[in-house]
Amino acid sequence: MRSFDDITEPVIERFGGLAGLKKQLTLPKKAKELRAIENSAWLSQASKAVFQAGFNWKVVDGKWPRIEEIFHGFDLGYCRMLSDEALETILKQDGMISHWKKTRSIQRNGDFFWQLSNDHDGLGNYFAGWNTANYAENLRTLQKGGDRLGIRTLQVFLRRMGVDTLIFSNDMVRGLIREGVVQKTPSSKRDWAVLQEVVELWQAQSRRSLNEISQILAYSVG
């Protein structure tokens, strides 16, 4: 396995220097910025990522302003109290995407996020307090407590919100395979343990965020 500097060098050349590479990278938000994000925004974007999984992203994008209206701006207190009967009525409203399980996940994740918010005095505080050394465990916590929050869905959601995260794009996973870290998209406890160890090493070598490591690995492939 190569050092991260060795992986990064040809990517820097590809973009004409460090300045060119920097323009291609999406950096995570600072803890202060994450703490300022309203609870409703976290639920809205988590729900949007759930709906986009397996759907046309542009269609969901176009419908999302109306869906936010239907769910009262994704207020946690409102969403978590929705009954199955209320959700069935919502499914019939104009502009709603008709998918029962994804719609029901809004209520379930609203309740889960409400509990997290109470425990941490706001969802922004919770996510701002994440340590990248606990990356795998943090994702497992959200998977276990939430509904329809698969690893890729979570990674898309977190990246959009500005939380430091990897994204298992096809090229990123190919990069991991090329470096001998995994043989496929990480799924087993062993895969995750090895990935966590390697990513921590790469961070120590490069002083880069998970965002940057993920994107540079992908750019090194395609």
Q: What is the CATH number of the domain that holds 109?
A: 1.10.340.30
Q: Are residues 75 and 144 in the same domain?
A: yes
38 and 96 within one domain: yes
The Cα–Cα gap between 133 and 102 comes to 31
Q: Is residue 27 part of a domain?
A: no
Residue for token digits 């706001």?
Answer: 122
Q: Name residues whose C-beta falls within 8 Å of residue 106's C-beta, 6 or more positions apart in sequence.
A: 43, 47, 71, 74, 79, 82, 87
Q: Which residues contact 58 (CB under 8 A, 6 or more apart)?
A: none
Do 76 and 101 lie in a common domain?
Answer: yes
What does the pLDDT look like over 136-183, one tens digit per residue? 999 999 999 999 999 999 999 999 999 999 999 999 999 999 999 999
171 and 140 in a common domain: no
State the average pLDDT for the chain: 97
pTM, whole model, 2 decimals?
0.95
197 within domain boundaries = yes
Q: Are residues 86 and 110 in the same domain?
A: yes
Tokens linked to 24:
């291609």
Domain endpoint, select from 145, 161, 177: 161
Q: Is residue 22 part of a domain?
A: no
pLDDT value of residue 222? 84
End-to-end CA distance of the chain: 19
Same domain, 138 and 40: yes
Structural domain span for residue 170: 4-14+166-219
Count of structural domains within the chain: 2
pLDDT in tens, 85-132: 999 999 999 999 999 999 999 999 999 999 999 999 999 999 999 999
Does residue 207 sit within a domain?
yes
Nearest C-alpha neighbor of 108 from the set 70, 153, 143: 143
